[in-house]
Amino acid sequence: MPPGPVLESAMKNIIQTDLPLRGLLIGVAAIAPIAFPAAQAGYSTLHDLAFLAIIPAAMLLIGAWAPLRKSSAAGLAALIRDGAVAGALATVALEAVRYSGFRMGFMPGDLPELMGVLLFDRFALGPTAASALGGFAYHFWNGACFGIIFALGRFNLPVWWAVPYGAALGVGFLISPVVQGLGVGIFGVNFGWQFAATVLTAHLAFGAVMAVMLRRNQGCQAESAVMRPAVVVR
């Protein structure tokens, strides 16, 4: 068989193989959330990782979503879209809890603001409006990526699994290099129980809202499928 048809056949097989493609997309989506703890662990600066990893991964993810919409893997494109929207909106709930805890003194600092000054490489200079906006954009993009990871990785699990998933993310944060960088210790032992309680509550809220959003998307898709007119073959 000529090389052209062989390559085309191989590419079709790759597109039609669901599991490896899901794994690849999950790996790409995980790059942005991993960058912040990696920077706090000293592997690089968040400023450098933004150009080397975060932005390229975001472009790759968006670039993959567009052609997937018109391929045999269109279902994965829908999961990427639904997961990103659910995760970003769920971050609003997380922020409501986190910011309330911060204002009550349960958190040692404003995390999105910290992300912003690290992204813009101005930790010693302090935050600006641009760095704060960048920090929140990165924070919400992380939420979208966590939503994509869950949507692609849950397969046929009920959407309410997003709640323990959110709790797991909270525990992961509490044992990550980020808390060491904040100086509060693992599970915030050097700051007080309120820190861990706020983090876990915020991530439970994240998971709960994401479950509701994904459930709503499932209902809309089912209703659309029922209402879609059947094609009559004559």
Domain-embedded: residue 8: no
Domain range spanning residue 139? Answer: 19-218
Domain-embedded: residue 3: no
- Spatial distance between the Cα atoms of 180 and 173, rounded to a whole number of angstroms: 10
pTM of the entire structure?
0.84
Hunting for tokens 């989506």 — which residue is that?
A: 29
Provide, for the chain, the percentages of residues in helix, strand and coil under a 3-state DSSP scheme, each rounded to the nearest 5.
80, 0, 20
What is the predicted pLDDT for the residue at 13?
55
Are 122 and 128 in contact, with CB atoms under 8 Å apart? yes
Domain-embedded: residue 2: no
As a residue count, the chain comes to 234
Domain-embedded: residue 7: no
Domain-embedded: residue 230: no
Domain-embedded: residue 1: no
Domain-embedded: residue 140: yes
What is the predicted pLDDT for the residue at 225?
46
What is the predicted pLDDT for the residue at 107?
86
Domain-embedded: residue 28: yes
Encode the chain (234 residues) as per-residue pLDDT tens digits.
Answer: 455 565 555 555 555 567 888 999 999 999 999 999 999 999 999 999 999 999 999 999 999 998 998 888 888 999 999 999 999 999 999 999 999 998 888 888 788 999 999 999 998 888 999 999 999 999 999 999 999 999 999 988 999 999 999 999 999 999 999 988 888 888 888 888 899 999 999 999 999 999 999 998 766 665 454 445 544 444
Q: What is the DSSP string of 81-109?
A: HHHHHHHHHHHHHHHHHHHHHHHTT-SSS
Domains in the chain, number: 1
Instruction: Kindly state the DSSP code that residue 29 receives in the 8-state scheme.
Output: H
